[in-house]
Structures are given as C-alpha cells and as structure tokens.
C-alpha cells in the first residue's frame, strides 16, 4: 500500500514527508482494518511534520480524520461488520483505569495514545484502529465532507463547550480555518451571535456567508463585548487581545495543540473581573458521539479542498501558506 511517513521533521517546504510502499497492516485483537477512502488534513499534521510535535514513533504515518470501510476484524472485534463505514479520530486509546479516565476526562489520561502520532494514521491506503475508539458516521455526509468532522469538528466542539458560552451569548472566534468554520455554524445554530476575527479577507467573507454577525481583522476588536471566545489560530499574541475583548466573567478557550508564546498579561486588563483562559486537550469519546449526533441534526456546510493521496505533501504546504479555504481532504483514489 502507499503511505506517507514523517521521515525527518523540518520545514514543510523542505519535504519532511516521504511517500513509501508498506505492507497492508493486520488488525490486532479488538481492532478493525479499514480501506481508507478519505483523510482530513489537519494543522496538527503540519506541526508533526515540521517538528513542533516530536514524533513518538519512527517514520509514523500522519492523519487522524479518517473515513474508511471495514475490510477485516481482529480477534474479539465485533462492533463493526465488513463493509461498515467507520471514522477514526485523534484519540486512539486510554488506560481506562487512571483517575482521569474514571472521572470521564479520558482526554487527560497520561497513557493516552493518538492516531498519526503514537500509531500510524490515515495518510495511507489502509489503517487499523481499536474498534472502541472508532465512530459511526452520519449518513448525510459523504466521505469527503465527513472526514473533517473527526477532528476539526470534534475538537472545535470541545473547545466551544470549554468556553461555556451562555444561551444566546456573544462568541468571538479568532482564526477561521477548517475547525472554526464548523464551530461557528454550530454556535449560530444554537442561537449565538458570532463575531469572527481573522486576517484573511476571504475567510471574513465566508464567515458572514455562514451566519456570523460580524467579521473583522484579528488586529481589531469585536463590535461588542464577548461572553466567550475560542482561539483557533496558533498565535499566542492573540491571547491578550481576546481576553481584553471578553465581558466580565468571560472565558477564552484555546483550541490548538500548539500555540506560539503568549506575551505578558496585565492583570487588570486581561484577567480581572473573573475572566479566564483555558486550554483544550484532544477530546473524549463522549465529545465525539455528542458532536456527531448534533451533526446528524444540524446540516453543517463542510467546506473542503480535495487532494489526491499522492499530493499529501502539497496539501500541507497549502495549509501552511493559508491557501486552503475550509479543510483539506486527501482521497486515496488520487
């Protein structure tokens, strides 16, 4: 099978990924083997390729927004039948025993494993996944549209919930890529007034088209105080601006796995009046099930840019240079 591997992390323009031939993996106990149909291209894949995230496995295959069909099952795997359409997300495994797992916060498990980081992901023609960490996919989404739901959608959903936006509240969204454009639609559907702050004029136009109340440059502030905000851009210098834009008691949720350094904060301007800043770490399986259930009922418009599997390195370059509107998706038949 064809698969992309992180050969030597470095600048994406220097070609840190290599397209190689590998044997089709065999599913182990409790696992299913998928013929990959589509795999979303995430900024986390870019961080892995460039070394912002140190690879945890040699020559690992990136990709954690995987849509495929079950072709085989390992010993004891009975949840899915051959031919079922299955989704694979970032969270791949947890210990199930630690205090975090027992409290329903498995995303914080110290022994958590992640797809495309600890184990091979979906930048390949085949992938294996523990069946207990796979998802059934809503029928209303085709493979290309469904792929970004598995991370951009799920993690954006968790980040939104971490922001504790009150009903009918005012939400700020900083950055407007693959995850943000889904989260914004969800918030609008739930009755929020959404204000998008992004440097991209095209992204601002898209935000308004998707129902945002306003869309301005990230260098500027929103037109009204915010009850909550979600930071999707991996830019630490936006943290003080977002905090300053919050109303009293507002919460800023940071959605990314990587963030550049945050400048010094001034207590009176950024944190007083019980403003808060929170990180978002991966997701739980409950987050995934809840989000996909909502996506079944709310017809999310998933903007995608398709690439053939042979173009995975080019897709990451396009992501790094801001040339993808919505979410990039690899198709294994290309």
* pTM for the whole structure: 0.93
163 and 269 in one domain? yes
Distances in whole angstroms, Cα of residue 133 to Cα of each of 32, 189, 324 = 10, 28, 29
Find the mean pLDDT for residues 173-185.
Answer: 96
pLDDT of residue 154: 97
For 233-276, how does the pLDDT look when each residue is reduced to its tens digit (9 = 90+)? 999 999 999 999 999 999 999 998 889 999 999 999 999 999 99
pLDDT of residue 28: 97
CATH (domain of 113): 3.90.180.10
CB of 128 within 8 A of CB of 31? Answer: yes
310 and 230 in one domain? no
Residues 6+ apart with CB under 8 A from 266: 240
212 and 88 in one domain? no
168 and 124 in one domain? no
Extract the tokens encoding 27: 């599913």
**Within 10 A of 104 (CB to CB), how many other CB atoms are there?**
10
As for how many domains the chain has, the answer is 2
CA distance 287 to 107: 10
Residues 6+ apart with CB under 8 A from 208: 214, 215
CA distance 159 to 103: 19
CA distance 150 to 38: 11
Q: Domain span at residue 54?
A: 2-141+302-331
226 and 115 in one domain? no
pLDDT at 334 over 80: no
Q: Please work out, in degrees rounded to the nearest 5, the angle formed at the alpha carbon of residue 161 by the alpha carbons of 167 and 66.
A: 130
For 281-326, how does the pLDDT look when each residue is reduced to its tens digit (9 = 90+)? 999 999 999 999 999 999 999 999 999 999 999 999 999 998 888 8
pLDDT of residue 256: 86
319 and 188 in one domain? no
267 and 197 in one domain? yes
Residues 6+ apart with CB under 8 A from 222: 170, 172, 195, 197, 214, 216, 245
Extract the tokens encoding 143: 């493979």
CATH (domain of 273): 3.40.50.720
Question: Of 67-71, 164-168, 258-262, where does mean pLDDT reach its minimum?
Answer: 258-262
For 207-227, how does the pLDDT look when each residue is reduced to its tens digit (9 = 90+)? 999 999 999 998 889 999 999
DSSP string for residues in 86-154? EEE-SEEE--S-SHHHHTT-GGG-TT-EEBTTTB--SSBSEEEEEGGGEEE--TTS-HHHHGGGGTHHH
203 and 81 in one domain? no
pLDDT of residue 54: 87
319 and 242 in one domain? no
């Amino acid at each position: 099978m064809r698969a992309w591997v992180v050969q030597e992390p470095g600048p994406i323009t220097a070609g840190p990924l290599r397209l190689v031939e590998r044997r089709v993996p065999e599913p182990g106990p409790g696992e299913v083997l998928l013929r990959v149909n589509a795999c979303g291209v995430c900024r986390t894949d870019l961080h892995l390729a460039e070394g912002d995230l140190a690879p945890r496995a040699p020559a690992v295959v990136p990709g954690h927004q995987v849509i495929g069909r079950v072709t085989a099952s390992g010993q004891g795997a009975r949840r899915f039948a051959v031919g079922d359409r299955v989704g694979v997300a970032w969270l791949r495994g947890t210990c199930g025993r630690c205090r975090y797992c027992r409290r329903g916060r498995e995303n914080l498990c110290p022994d958590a494993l992640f797809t495309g980081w600890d184990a091979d992901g979906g930048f390949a023609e085949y992938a294996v996944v523990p069946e207990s960490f796979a998802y059934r996919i809503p029928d209303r989404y085709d493979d290309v549209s469904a792929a970004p739901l598995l991370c951009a959608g799920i993690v954006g959903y968790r980040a939104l919930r971490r922001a504790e936006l009150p009903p009918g509240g005012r939400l700020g969204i900083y950055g407007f890529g693959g995850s943000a454009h889904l989260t914004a639609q969800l918030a609008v559907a739930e009755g929020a007034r959404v204000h998008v702050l992004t440097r991209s004029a095209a992204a601002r136009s898209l935000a308004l088209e998707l129902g945002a109340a306003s869309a301005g440059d990230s260098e500027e502030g929103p037109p009204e105080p915010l009850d909550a905000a979600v930071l999707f851009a991996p830019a630490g210098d936006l943290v003080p601006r977002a905090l300053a834009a919050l109303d009293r008691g507002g919460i800023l949720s940071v959605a990314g796995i990587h963030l550049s350094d945050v400048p010094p904060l001034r207590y009176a301007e950024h944190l007083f009046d019980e403003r808060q800043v929170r990180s978002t770490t991966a997701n739980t399986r409950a987050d995934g099930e809840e989000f996909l259930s909502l996506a079944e009922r709310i017809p999310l418009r998933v903007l995608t840019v398709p690439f053939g599997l042979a173009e995975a390195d080019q897709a990451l370059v396009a992501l790094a240079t801001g040339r993808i509107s919505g979410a990039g998706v690899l198709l294994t038949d290309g």
